[in-house]
Chain A
């Protein structure tokens, strides 16, 4: 057998990864709706700040839990199964992991801007804020749907 880091905890890690992803998809979607509301002159600033803070906690948690389970996936799932029997899942996972990394600076950007920006007065700053929120919600939804599809094919 193999001695891969966190192999014995991999199933628990993926379960927690999924739980954190549930929080993440909810908070990111709600945050996007609030940010989009700013553009339509509906200012729920306090709510926007709360969701941005939840995203800041949930995204790195989801990311870290996935990163810890990744070595087990890489050998036992991808190398021994997906690369042989389900190439689409192998490729989709790699696309998902790269998209997830690209979301990291957006999470930080959204949190910081939600704290310093005054949506009523800083209308010109809104364009960047809404752009970050839109990219992030797209990445999170793509990754959640991809993650479910991949795990339906085979898990750790």
Chain B
């Protein structure tokens, strides 16, 4: 074994990130990817799956043509992106050097920032929204 400060001999394997650390980094990256991809359609027009509850149909589009919900589509999109981010980052992280204490803190800080940014974006856009009500159908009886 080489002593601290001494150059590592070429034959000695370079220390790699432990399995637990790689999972920690990959989970943080997945949470960041989920938060950012979930917030993205609220920031820039993006095609997502919209569900039309009255017609019971799905459509991949940027803007709906009637009463529709994009929440399912955004959840699906973000889940897929988070799974891919987890897999890629886990694969890469296993080849990197062990994570320092500062590295752990940085990943946590990025994760918290991404989630809070997404929450703030939706809260700010929705808090003051003025939705347009649907026309009342003929069978509607007010409760």
Contact = CB atoms under 8 A, between A and B. Distances in A.
Interface of A: 1-5, 67, 70-72, 74-75, 78-80, 82-84, 87, 90-91, 94-95, 97-99, 101-102, 104-106, 108-109, 112-113, 116-117, 122, 124-125, 127-128, 131-132, 135, 154
A150 to B, nearest CB: 13
A124 B54 contact: no
6 shortest interchain CB distances as A-B pairs: A71-B53, A128-B108, A79-B134, A83-B133, A84-B133, A124-B104
B49 interface: no
A110 to B, nearest CB: 9
A61 B22 CA distance: 29
B122 to A, nearest CB: 4
A91 B34 contact: no
Contacts of A135: 112, 115-116
A40 to B, nearest CB: 18
26 contacts: A1-B139, A5-B53, A70-B69, A70-B71, A75-B53, A78-B131, A79-B134, A83-B131, A83-B133, A83-B134, A91-B131, A97-B71, A98-B119, A105-B27, A105-B30, A106-B115, A109-B27, A109-B31, A113-B24, A117-B24, A125-B104, A127-B105, A127-B108, A128-B107, A128-B111, A132-B31
Contacts of B115: 102, 106, 135
Contacts of B10: none
Contacts of B21: 125
Contacts of B69: 70-71, 74
Contacts of B78: 101
Given A70-B69, A79-B134, A80-B140, A132 B111 contact: yes
Interface in B36-76: 38, 51, 53-54, 56, 67, 69, 71-72, 74-75
B104 A99 contact: no
B8 interface: no
Given A83-B133, A128-B27, 13 more contacts: A4-B54, A74-B69, A79-B133, A90-B129, A95-B127, A98-B119, A105-B82, A116-B23, A125-B20, A128-B24, A128-B104, A131-B112, A135-B115
Contacts of B34: 102, 104-105
B92 interface: no
Contacts, number: 131
A101 B111 contact: no
Nearest to B79: A104
Given A80-B140, A127-B108, A98 B27 contact: no
